[in-house]
Amino acid sequence: MTILSEPNPGTLAYLALILWVPLTMGCFFLMRPERATLVAVLGALLFLPEAAQFKLPYLPPLTKENIPYLAVVAGAALRSPGRVLKLPKERWFILLAVVLVLGCIGTVYTNGDALHYGKFKFINISGLTLNDGLFTAAILCYPSA
């Protein structure tokens, strides 16, 4: 009996993640944007694989939890760019987004000390870097399910 420590998704799982983006774009050009959004997000939650992910440098892993939302934003920006790309009228929303990103960077600058644990087996955890702060800001700005 073998116990798998990490799930090993197959080629079909990665193919499904890759093909979800053009499928979402097609939905946006065949349906109303509201309906295309529902079809893309709910369909992804139902049919995309759990274990498959793409890991790019300095970005959070691209999984079924964020690929559909990124594809919806891209499809909506292509279908009706005026509605998507304009800044919101509420200035407090922009201020909130800036405070969120600055808060992540401030956390990095105040938590740069390394941690050392253990008496027999030593564990060293390095301090936070600017990349960690930007990574955290990117995760907080990503829409999640």
Q: Where are the domains of the chain?
A: 9-86, 89-145
Amino acid 145: pLDDT: 38
pTM confidence score: 0.67
Q: What residue ranges of the chain have pLDDT lower than 50?
A: 1, 144-145
The predicted pLDDT at position 69 comes to 92
At 119 the pLDDT is 81
Place of tokens 């279908």: 79
Please name the residue ranges forming H helices in the chain: 11-30, 33-47, 67-79, 81-85, 91-110, 130-141
Task: Give the separation between CA 89 and CA 100, rounded to whole angstroms.
Answer: 19
